[in-house]
Amino acid sequence: MPSITSPNSPPRRGSVLLVVLVVIALLALGAYSFSELMVSESHATGVFGREAQARACADSGIELAASVLGRPTDDGSFENVFHDPQHYGGVTLRESSTPRGRARFSLIAPNESDPSGTTLRFGLIDESSKLNLNTLVADEKKQQSRGTSATNAGSSASAEGSPSSGTNSSGGSASTGGLSSTGSSSTGASTTGSSTTSSDSTSSTSESTVSASDPASRLLMIPGMTNELADAVLDFIDDDDTPRSYGCESEYYSGLQPAYSSKNSPLESLDELLLVRGVTPEYLYGEDFNRNGLLDPNENDGDVSWPPDNADGALLLGWSAYLSVHGRETNTRWDESTRININNNNLAELYDQLEEEFDATVAQFVIAYRVTSQAQGSTTQAGGGNTGGGQTSGSGSPASGGGNTSTANLNQQYSQLQQAATALGSAVGGGGGGTVTRGGIDLSKGSGKQLQSLYELVGATAQATVNGSVTTLQSPWAADSNSMVGYLPSLFDTLTVNTDQFIDGRVNVSEARYETLLSVPGMTESIAQSILAKRQGADGGPLVDTTGARATAGWLVIENLVDLPTMQQLDKYVTARGGIYRVNSVGYFDEAGPFMRLEAVIDTTQSKKPPVILFLKDLTELGRGYPQQLLLGTQ
């Protein structure tokens, strides 16, 4: 059958087929793009999920630390938070059959006893292992207040009324901070060798170079610190606008762009030091760019890579390793009940408290020690009347200063105190004679000596009149090492020398770095070196106390690093454990992938409250910081 075609129709060229092919290609490309996008979204979702898991792991590490810190055992000793790889290293939070899915956290801290910066420990960082800047200024103010009171008392007791404004018994004037030393910017060493006459200002050892009344001398022990930087830091914190010899106050900062003022109050964060004249991030963080406490290759290659360093094979740490604004302890027992104030002026009440807590023997000795000390002190005052107020000349007359008048005033004050004590004894005892006795000792003559340290009671003797007979009493706390290991934790948990709510600024000798130890008044280079040697194991790692012998700073005496008189001087400035901790928590997976680094400060000193996280900082942008094997504790 012949085809029916129009003789005038054009031939077909396949244009529709081309259009169809183009559409198919576009659809295929769209499907491929959509598939790629979905794969990317799936991967991003997986990464986001793993990052969230890493963050949750790091958060869990901080919560674990807070939980441990808030859970003391029944005898008052805390769990080991110094170095415990089993509980703080490579803790598994999510099990998986593959390394990619296995999630962990580790609590990492630098080994403060390792100057090479090559080892770490698994645990927390006690903020009391650093020098508390806020306490330095507060202590200086107390010293100046005491010096002013002593000067006023001496002036009022002087017959001539001679002025004493030329010197300050606290060791320095308010305007200069008592600076009498120079510092080296490379070592932070102080060359001052002078010591004040104040009993709590310096140690009797000639090696000690710092003074409690001169905070600048303590700061100069920190590497990189100079007189200018030390005074500028102290001026920024103290509550006046009078610049120190090398410092500056708001007048300087008001001329900057943008202008601001000195804080003139305690610091809340160490980063606030960056507002102080001359302080840079290099001073604050040193060569440790990623803040991991380790000497990394890029921190030991000079100017080859960031950060700049001196390529000397040692990690130059910044001030953040030595300084703090948080060091504090609570002045209560482990269960937060009130400690017994050994300096209670009501001796009858003190005796009853000690007898109930310990026994009659302990109560009798403590009371006898304080009463005997009071009697000896009054004898010294009376006998030293002529020489105490001024040096006696060759003719026997007192030198200028009014010695006789001062003695008369002291005797009059002592007589008034005796009368008041007798009246109080009569009221308490209910008798007409005004005699109050405990343990056979007459308490009506006054409260006696104020102890500066509980170590004064260790191995001491006291001679007192007991039931009418002069008796020598021996301390129930013997001065031998074996006994001290057993009783020191209980002694320091039960007794105190004041009623302050907190004890601020004492340095933890079990963790502090060498330079921080040197900032302690009474500390010497030889003692500091001995402390570090005793804290480091044979493998260079941190030495863990497994016997409880180092539960108090008394381990310095127990292990024969210092004697008791030296420990009495150091006691005001040293401790074995604080109440505020810094935590570095790293969340990660066994297989390389997302990680999270968090830093937190946890405060356990808030009464009747669980531990409080003071602040939380994300350090992830600084890099992983630690090799996988190190985080797992296998390196």
Q: Over range 39-52, report the average pLDDT.
A: 87
Cα–Cα distance measured from residue 536 to residue 549, given in angstroms and rounded to the nearest whole number: 16
Indicate whether 232 belongs to any domain. yes
Q: What is the pLDDT of residue 308?
A: 82
Q: Is the pLDDT of residue 197 over 50?
A: no
Domain that holds residue 55: 23-130+506-635
Same structural domain, 146 and 275? yes
Same structural domain, 346 and 474? yes
Q: Over range 488-513, report the average pLDDT.
A: 95
Indicate whether 525 belongs to any domain. yes
Q: What is the pLDDT of residue 16?
A: 82
Total domains, the chain: 3
Same structural domain, 142 and 269? yes
Is pLDDT larger for residue 397 or for residue 31?
Answer: 31
Same structural domain, 105 and 216? no
Indicate whether 393 belongs to any domain. no
Indicate whether 398 belongs to any domain. no
Mean pLDDT of the chain: 81
Indicate whether 67 belongs to any domain. yes
Same structural domain, 470 and 518? no
pTM, full prediction: 0.78
Q: Over range 582-607, report the average pLDDT.
A: 93
Q: Over range 411-415, report the average pLDDT.
A: 49
Same structural domain, 449 and 533? no
Structure tokens at 463: 């001679």
Q: What is the pLDDT of residue 9?
A: 64
Q: What is the pLDDT of residue 78?
A: 65
We report the CATH number of the domain holding residue 153 as: 1.10.40
* Exposed / middle / buried, residue 62 (Cβ in 10 Å: 0-12, 13-18, 19+): buried
Indicate whether 174 belongs to any domain. no
Structure tokens at 156: 């009022």
Q: Is the pLDDT of residue 76 over 80?
A: no
Q: What is the pLDDT of residues 507-565, one digit of tens each?
A: 999 999 999 999 999 999 999 999 999 998 877 788 888 888 899 999 999 999 999 99
Upstream peptide bond of 307 is cis (omega within 30 degrees of 0): yes
Q: Over range 322-344, report the average pLDDT.
A: 94
Q: What is the pLDDT of residue 635?
A: 56
Cα–Cα distance measured from residue 582 to residue 487, given in angstroms and rounded to the nearest whole number: 30
If you search the block for the tokens 């303590």, which residue do you land on?
A: 218
Same structural domain, 554 and 584? yes
Same structural domain, 102 and 239? no
Indicate whether 466 belongs to any domain. yes
Same structural domain, 29 and 79? yes
Domain finish residue from 444, 472, 496? 496
Q: At 131, which amino acid appears?
A: L
DSSP state letter for 397 = P
Q: What is the pLDDT of residue 541?
A: 81
Domain finish residue from 465, 496, 527? 496
Indicate whether 298 belongs to any domain. no
Give the pLDDT band of residue 189 (cuts 50, 70, 90): very low
Domain finish residue from 466, 496, 526? 496
Q: What is the pLDDT of residue 229?
A: 97
Mean pLDDT lowest for which of 88-92, 299-303, 452-456?
A: 299-303
